[in-house]
Each structure stands twice: as C-alpha cells, then as structure tokens.
Amino acid sequence: MNTCTGTTTTATANCFGPVGGTATGPSIMSVTVADGIATISWAATPGTVYVLQGKSDLHGGNWINLAGEVTANGTTASQSDAVDARGQCFYRVMVVR
C-alpha cells in the first residue's frame, strides 16, 4: 500500500487458480505515485493483452476499466491512473486475450 498526500492506493492481482497454488494470471509488482499519477506495473507475458481495472470500495461497487487495453511487449507491463478525490483506489489486472 502506498500513501501519498492523503491518498491510499492498494493493488490486487487477478489470479487464476487457488490461493497459495500456482498463479497463471498477472501479478501486480508495484504501484508508484508521483505528481498525481499512479503507475501500476505487473508481471506480463509478451503479446498478451491486459486491462487495468479500479474501484474505490473493495467491498462494493463494480470494477471499472481504466483507459484502454495494454499489450505487453516484454515481461512487465504498466498503466497509469490519475489520483483524484476518490481518496483510495483498488486495482486489479485482467487478461483480455
């Protein structure tokens, strides 16, 4: 969890398979916040297309796609999100194809 000027940012990964087992889905590696922009980076498979999703309430509400799809060019991928008055945002990464 990163805290920056009163804004809390938490990242979760969308994993396939049981917790504690071998995850084959993306795994968020880092979330950095600078100048009002959160950059979320995850372990990726080259050529795979991902979408970053976010929501402000982990226990309710819907996950919302943030910006467009990301096609991985290497073993990591990232996308940015503007940090605003939401106060906190939870992130997850989904494999599109």
Q: Which segments in the chain show pLDDT lower than 50?
A: 1-8, 14-22
CB atoms under 10 Å from CB of 59, counted, come to: 6
> How many Å apart are CA 88 and CA 53, to the nearest integer?
14
Class of domain 2-95: mainly beta
**Tell me, what amino acid is at 24?**
T
pLDDT in the model for residue 60:
81
pLDDT in the model for residue 89:
86
Q: What is the pTM of this model?
A: 0.72
